[in-house]
């Protein structure tokens, strides 16, 4: 079980927002006690204005370090939304052609059995690239310096369906998308995200979840075994940075929404 980042989006009058904010902290604490969650953080956005952020529980249970609104949590597949925004920025600028074959940017990437795998297919989850199985991505500790290196982890796998034919959710498809973005710009994925999304949105506490984590403001990982909260395995997310490898805070995620 991982820490959770909870994002609350509301619109309405300032009075209504104030009433909700008064109850939000109590709600977080109640959720922790009822469900055995190590920590939660949340934010409230009203009419384009961040009116409240809060946190409850412990970001580090062993050392009794309390979570705060500035604590960075893994945001899991919300990472895909940020990656998609960056990819579409590059498409707007004419740097990446969404209708082009993936092999235009990654010439040595294996062609699918049928059809042509286009960049848009990666965004749409119609590439046919399979999602991870079970705890596959959670147990990986190998570090990949580039997303092209990470994409090679997938190359010997048969696609689950013809490209463009069927929706199949895939974090690994976003790994290949990130590799396309890096190849098209000759720039690291992290730099692309910072330039096209994080900095323009004012997301100062968002980044890649590095392994091993050296930052004291990143929530630790835990699992629930029979109602007991125990430390979970630290893993390397460089295999899936674009699809599930970012950390952030409620305030930063709301800044992205704005």
Dihedral (CA of 141, 147, 152, 158) sign: positive
- Residues with Cβ within 8 Å of residue 151, at least 6 apart in sequence: 106, 109, 175, 176, 179
Supply the Cα-derived Rg of the chain in whole angstroms. Answer: 19
Strand partners, 44: 8, 52
Least confidently predicted of 28-32, 74-78, 98-102, 113-117? 113-117
User: To which residue do tokens 């890649």 refer?
Assistant: 208
Strand locations in the chain, DSSP E?
4-5, 8-9, 39-46, 49-60, 65-66, 73-74, 207-208, 222-225, 228-231, 246-248
Query: Do 129 and 174 contact (CB within 8 A), yes or no?
Result: no
Q: What is the mean pLDDT of the chain?
A: 89
Least confident of 132-146, 152-166, 198-212: 132-146
Rounded Cα distance between 230 and 220, Å, is 11
pLDDT for position 16:
56
Q: Is the pLDDT of residue 138 over 80?
A: no
Confidence tier at 1 by pLDDT (50, 70, 90)? very low
Average of pLDDT values for 10-35?
77
State the pLDDT at residue 137.
64
What pLDDT does 223 receive? 86
Whole-number pLDDT of residue 140 = 74
N-terminal to C-terminal alpha carbon distance within the chain: 30
């Amino acid at each position: 079980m991982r820490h959770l980042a909870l994002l609350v989006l509301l619109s309405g009058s300032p009075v209504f927002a104030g009433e909700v904010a008064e109850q939000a902290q109590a709600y977080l604490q109640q959720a922790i006690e009822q469900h055995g969650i190590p920590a939660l953080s949340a934010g409230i956005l009203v009419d384009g204005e961040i009116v409240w952020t809060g946190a409850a529980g412990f970001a580090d249970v062993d050392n009794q370090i309390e979570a705060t609104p500035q604590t960075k949590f893994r945001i899991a597949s919300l990472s895909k939304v940020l990656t998609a925004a960056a990819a579409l920025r590059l498409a707007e600028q004419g740097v990446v052609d969404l209708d082009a074959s993936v092999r235009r940017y990654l010439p040595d990437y294996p062609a699918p059995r049928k059809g042509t795998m286009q960049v848009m297919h990666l965004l749409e989850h119609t590439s046919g690239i399979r999602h991870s199985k079970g705890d596959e991505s959670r147990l990986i500790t190998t570090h990949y310096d580039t997303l092209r290196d990470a994409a090679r982890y997938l190359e010997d796998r048969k696609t689950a369906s013809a490209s463009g034919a069927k929706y199949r959710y895939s974090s690994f498809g976003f790994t290949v998308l990130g590799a396309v973005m890096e190849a098209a710009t000759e720039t690291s994925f992290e730099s692309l995200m910072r330039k096209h999304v994080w900095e323009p949105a004012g997301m100062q506490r968002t980044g890649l979840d590095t392994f091993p984590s050296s930052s004291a403001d990143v929530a630790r990982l835990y699992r629930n075994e029979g109602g007991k909260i125990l430390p979970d395995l630290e893993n390397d997310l460089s295999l899936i940075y674009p699809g599930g490898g970012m950390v952030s805070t409620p305030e930063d995620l709301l800044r992205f929404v704005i």
